[in-house]
Amino acid sequence: MSRLQADHLFKVFGRRPDEAVGKLNGGIGRDELRADGTTAAVIDASFTVEPGQIFVVMGLSGSGKSTLLRMLNGLLEPTAGRVLFDGQDLTALSPRELRAVRANKISMVFQHFALFPHRSVLENAAYGLEVQGVSRSERERRAAEALELCGLAGWEKSWPDELSGGMQQRVGLARALATDADLLLMDESFSALDPLIRRDMQDQLLELQKRLKKTIVFITHDLNEAMRLGDSIAVMRDGRIVQLGTAEDILVRPANDYVASFIQDVDRTRVLTAEAVMTAPLRPGAGDCGCESVAPGTPVAEVCAVSARVPHPVAVKDDRGTLVGVVPQSRLIGFIGDEQRPPTACDRPGPQTEKEVAHA
């Protein structure tokens, strides 16, 4: 069973929102609604998130991604549609029940950290547990554990304003992890950090995720970040999800021009992997040699490096050492140059080796 399921979610701000949902279902556009003074922030969003998955919602500002996120833990009530969390319909809960779910099962990490300036680092990390009603000694122990997990051991007694941005966000992460919630909502959590720290935090999140296997919904406007983190990515535009799929799906098969224009700036060699460029081995016995090989998940950029060192197509082997495909150099070059067609034959056939060219 999926952990989290969004089922035809709508969020409309303004007057007579229900009427607006009817109109949107009837095919009326967002701009026409805006003329009436109503704003459709999220339109008909549906997706599922599996346990242990990082689901990334990617979109520019104003695309409705933050609104969507806030409907997932009930901070905003959907105008229409349902949110199923472990099969439980959050939209049908009373405010009290909803608060209990938020306190115990869903936690959140914010863009600007949202640390309480009047509480120490430890008290901040323990906040969720305090709401749960956990005893003081217990919650201080667990908060300290969470801080250690995020690499902040020894900073418990400090105050948020004494920490750097990256460290503050680690406190935010520790606060979210301390409650042992299954679902982590991360709202542009790394956007306010400078690029080096951001990369660090992404690595650390992936590292933590390997151990903790949380279900994470991550919001970002940075496609590179989405590609790095996301097991599954939803691209939003003007309130609608325009494409839903893996990083590879989006890079290789963009659903429309909008997504295509988006992915132009993405460094594809760091996102796509050997799996995406390999072909079936042409010659028998390929990979039998002792030459360097790569795994299916190796980024193309690294495959290029390996390819420069081995004299033949690079072998791709799974973790049991079985050959699953090969990557010839021409395919790598074609991929980097975004050339889909196969190479054509030369119009002056004959043996042309590098030696001959050099002689000429």
Q: Which is nearer to another protein, 10 or 113 (CB)?
A: 113
Assess 5 for contact with another protein (CB under 8 A).
no
Least distance to another protein, CB of residue 60, Å:
20
Q: Which is nearer to another protein, 118 or 359 (CB)?
A: 118
Q: Which is nearer to another protein, 15 or 99 (CB)?
A: 99
3-state secondary structure of 55: strand
Q: What are phi and psi of 42, to 5 degrees?
A: -130, 130
3-state secondary structure of 40: strand
For the chain, helix, strand, coil in percent to 5 are 40, 20, 40
Least distance to another protein, CB of residue 208, Å:
19
- Whole-angstrom distance, CA of residue 209 vs CA of residue 353: 50
Stretch 152-211 residues interacting with another protein (CB under 8 A): 159, 161, 175, 179, 185
The number of helix segments (H) and strand segments (E) in the chain equals 17, 13
Least distance to another protein, CB of residue 47, Å:
21
Q: Which is nearer to another protein, 186 or 332 (CB)?
A: 186
Assess 26 for contact with another protein (CB under 8 A).
no
Stretch 74-113 residues interacting with another protein (CB under 8 A): 75, 99-104, 106-108, 110-112
Q: What angle do CA 293, 294, 300 make, to 5 degrees?
A: 130
Residue 255 tokens, joined: 């659903």
Query: Using CB under 8 A as the criterion, what x/- string covers residues 36-75 for binding another protein?
Result: -------------------------------------x-x
Assess 114 for contact with another protein (CB under 8 A).
yes
| Helices (H), ranges, the chain | 17-25, 30-35, 65-72, 95-104, 121-125, 127-132, 136-149, 165-178, 195-212, 223-229, 247-252, 257-263, 268-271, 274-277, 300-309, 329-336, 354-359
Among 26, 27, 87, 117, binds another protein (CB under 8 A): 117
Tell me which residues touch another protein (CB under 8 A): 73, 75, 99-104, 106-108, 110-112, 114, 116-119, 127-128, 131-132, 159, 161, 175, 179, 185
